[in-house]
Amino acid sequence: MIDTDFKELLSQYGLSQTFSLAVTDEVSAIPDMIPEREIARRKDLTDMTIVTIDGEDAKDLDDAISISRLTSGHYMLGVHIADVSYYVKEGSELDLEAYNRGTSVYLVDQVVPMLPKKLSNGLCSLNPHKPRLTLSCFMEIDQTGGVVSYEIAETVIKSSARMTYTAVTEVLSGDMAARSQYVDLIPTFELMRELALILRDKRSRRGSIDFDFPEPKVLTDEDGNTVGIKIYEHTISNKMIEEFMLAANETVARHMFRLELPLVYRVHESPDPDKIERFATLVRNMNYKFKTGAKISPKAMQNLLFKIKGTTEQVMLSTMMLRSLMKARYSNENLGHFGLAAEYYCHFTSPIRRYPDLMVHRILREWLTGRLDEKRIAYYVKLTKDAAEQSSETEVAATEAERDWVAYKMCEYMQGQVGQEFDGFISSVTSFGLFVQLPNTVEGLIRMVDLDDDYYVYDEQTMSLTGRRSGRTYYMGEKIRVRLAKVNVDLKQIDFVPVDVTPKKKEVKKNTDGKTAKKPQRQHKGRRSKQKGKA
């Protein structure tokens, strides 16, 4: 049944785990060994201490890190990315297939890859002790996190170790067994942590927005059945790699922009003023100060996240803030990245699984080798526009497919627990019921018909439901105990019913002018409403 449903999902989103014969033949013809002449013309980094740090189950290792301290006290950070553009030739069947796919799609325990495994898990994967072709971005970074100089080069590396987030975190946390196993790499990891904290502080000071939403990891057995759901733990090692990748992406984007060369940028535009004003009204109704003007700054949003951290309103306001923002996308224009508070940004670090990164590499290599003449620049001006639009579309489809399959696997896991009670919190309040999220991020709906102890009124402004007789108010972020009533795996729907309906009157919130919030506008008796999906 699972196999059938998985195939239906692939069909629904136009995904395929297999490649055409033409693509397969092209990949089969790629030599397993790197030609000596190619190695000879590149910068040889094979004697440098370079490591990959990824999750335990990762097979496409496309980024590696080196680091050292200079005599000036500055840091020399090297971000080394698999040179996929060497293998995926422009205009080939393989290139056309990668363009059409746009991205790899990660469906719990299975992958729909952008590139065949010979490349994604083999020749382009920076496996330890194997010579690999890379594009490297070396950045000299001062004690404030500023990039004072940089170099981008075609290189060949040989990774010293295939590290995992878990192992590096254990080393840095003082685990004696881990430190004994990786004793030679301890200074490297400690220097990485030192620099990562500096870079993170710099991002925070300029206003970069970091949402702290839990991410689920679905656990499956050998047959693909869901056996558990846990929360991804973002440790210091995850954060180190995140900061280093962000630094490289910004440096490459800034470099190409200043050279006035075409590029596929990763952009996140400023939010729509009307959406921000609606969000600001909600914030003020919750008694928080939030200034808006002609143009909202990411720093203002970051400050609000700091204020609400640990409060009962945190989930509600963080969620509504995210919904008020634009969605990130690809563009051939440099429009900046609002969420990161970055003036220049592109995707350079994952060419195995994202076509925009491959495009960035291809243009960079032509610039590095002096082949980027006026004719090629004109060609790339058009191609980057088309590729940005195509990649944005495939990214949306991939995200929807990934969410759909996670929802399916969650329902599969929960169907054996019907009748059990759980503690959760209200993640969304709508006119047709309450969405409740459990600690493992499983989300279900309490339908209006199951709130049968009172007549409930929906207040759109405060996003709450209030009982007319009891005054009992349901609001986002409130803890609630529920019983699992029904699971429909095919529709990916979970129904909860409240266990505790004891009247609980919410304190009336006042606007900043001292007046009570606007009276509720919509009224519902306990009746069934059609589920419309997540609010």
pLDDT in tens, 275-298: 998 899 888 888 888 887 768 899
Q: Which residue is listed with tokens 């009891």?
A: 470
User: Average model confidence (pLDDT) for the chain?
Assistant: 91
Q: Which pLDDT band holds residue 222 (cuts at 50, 70, 90)?
A: confident
Tell me, what's the pLDDT at 365?
97
- C-alpha dist (Å) from residue 400 to 97, 364, 395: 20, 31, 9
CB 429 within 8 A of CB 534: no
Q: Measure the CA–CA gap between 39 and 62, rounded to whole angstroms.
A: 18
Q: Measure the CA–CA gap between 87 and 33, rounded to whole angstroms.
A: 12
Minimum mean pLDDT among 201-215, 227-241, 253-267, 516-530: which range?
A: 516-530
Three-state DSSP string of 187-237:
HHHHHHHHHHHHHHHHHHHHCCCCCCCCCEEEEECCCCCEEEEEECCCCHH
pLDDT above 50: residue 532: no
Determine the length of the chain: 535
Give the alpha-carbon dihedral of 236, 238, 243, 245, to 10 degrees.
160
pLDDT above 80: residue 521: no
Tell me, what's the pLDDT at 2?
60
Q: Which pLDDT band holds residue 530 (cuts at 50, 70, 90)?
A: very low
The mean per-residue pLDDT over the stretch 67-95 comes to 98
Tell me, what's the pLDDT at 502?
55
Percent of the chain surpassing pLDDT 90? 80
Exposed/middle/buried for residue 524 (C-beta within 10 Å: 0-12, 13-18, 19+): middle
pLDDT above 50: residue 35: yes
DSSP category for residue 373: -
Query: Domains plus CATH for the chain?
Result: 2-268+331-411 (no CATH), 274-325 (no CATH), 418-524 (2.40.50.140)
Q: Which pLDDT band holds residue 28 (cuts at 50, 70, 90)?
A: very high
Tell me, what's the pLDDT at 529?
34
pLDDT in tens, 141-156: 999 999 999 999 999 9
Q: Which residue is listed with tokens 């990824």?
A: 54
Percent of the chain surpassing pLDDT 70? 93
pLDDT above 70: residue 515: no
Q: Measure the CA–CA gap between 150 and 140, rounded to whole angstroms.
A: 6
DSSP category for residue 150: E
pLDDT in tens, 335-391: 999 999 999 999 999 999 999 999 999 999 999 999 999 999 999 999 999 999 999
Side-chain-side CA neighbours of residue 304 (13 Å): 30
Q: Measure the CA–CA gap between 469 and 303, rounded to whole angstroms.
A: 38
Q: Which pLDDT band holds residue 49 (cuts at 50, 70, 90)?
A: very high
pLDDT above 90: residue 443: yes
pLDDT in tens, 112-137: 999 999 999 999 999 999 999 999 99
Tell me, what's the pLDDT at 312?
77
